[in-house]
Amino acid sequence: MMQINSPDASTRWKPSVTVAAIIEKDGKFLLIEEHTPEGLRLNNPAGHLDPGESPLQACAREALEESAYDFKPTHLIGMYLSRFQRTLPSDAGIEDVTYLRFAFSGELGAFHPQQPLDKGIVRTLWLSPDEIRASASTHRSPLLLQCMKDYLQGQRFGLELIYTDPSVYL
């Protein structure tokens, strides 16, 4: 296993915490298409955990911001770890990021057609599992397929697995 060394001994490695909404309706999954430095990519409605919010709140917020749908997480599908590396422009080095993703299934709520989508989001689309598998070369995250696979296999965990201490909200 390769180890990444910190710039100095006082710097602690910290993965980026993200959340993802695994939303299925009538056999199709809600995905977003977005501009990235690597071009147009597909992903679940997903994003970073912000200060002062729980993973459940972050997932509902990200789903709304990226898809214009209300979403209420009801189950944890899983927690996933992945690493992403990209060469930065102008020989600025390599960006090396590890993501810790909390993926949730839940209840799809109202669609808000007037809701502006996050910057970079081109559109939302509903794709079947076969269409998602066939589009793997355009996925933003390798976790998209794994989360869908776990969801389709019936993997569900109670939300009581995730505790947010009240100090987070201060």
159 part of a folded domain: no
84 part of a folded domain: yes
124 part of a folded domain: yes
Owning domain of residue 111: 16-154
Q: Are 125 and 25 a contacting pair, CB within 8 Å? A: no
163 part of a folded domain: no
Q: Provide the number of structural domains found in the chain.
A: 1
Whole-number pLDDT of residue 1: 45
164 part of a folded domain: no
CATH of the domain at 57: 3.90.79.10
42 part of a folded domain: yes
Whole-number pLDDT of residue 3: 44
Whole-number pLDDT of residue 150: 98
Per residue of the chain (170 residues), give pLDDT as tens: 444 444 555 678 889 999 999 999 999 999 999 999 889 999 999 999 999 999 999 999 999 999 999 999 999 999 999 998 888 887 778 888 899 999 999 999 999 999 999 999 999 999 999 999 999 999 999 999 999 999 999 999 999 999 999 999 98
38 part of a folded domain: yes
State pTM to two decimals.
0.90
113 part of a folded domain: yes
Whole-number pLDDT of residue 48: 96
Whole-number pLDDT of residue 4: 44
